[in-house]
Amino acid sequence: MAKFVCDYEKVVDAGEKIRQNADSMTKTISSYAQDAESTLSGWSQGTAKSSFSSSLNSQAVQSQSDAEYLKAIGDYVVESANAIQKLEEEFASMDI
């Protein structure tokens, strides 16, 4: 008789949503950074432009790193749920 550990479908769905949000975050960050860089291209060279551009690039890189981390968390959640479900099914098939 199998023991019910968790609702695997809900856990996998949550992991998938984390991955989808991370992908959306990556696309949005890239789009905003490109738009800002495009706007900056019209500025004349100066301290304000270089300071803002440097800050923008730093924040975009950090945000992209955060999005990749979130995607890895989503992957881990899905893989963990699948591994636990497989193990539970193996235990359930045992005749003890």
List, for residues 37-94, the tens digit of each pLDDT value: 888 888 887 888 888 888 988 999 999 999 999 999 999 999 999 999 998 888 888 8
Q: Is the pLDDT of residue 30 over 70?
A: yes
Q: Is 14 exposed, middle or buried (0-12, 13-18, 19+ CB in 10 A)?
A: middle
Burial of 2 (C-beta count, 10 Å sphere; 0-12/13-18/19+): exposed
pTM assigned to the model: 0.79
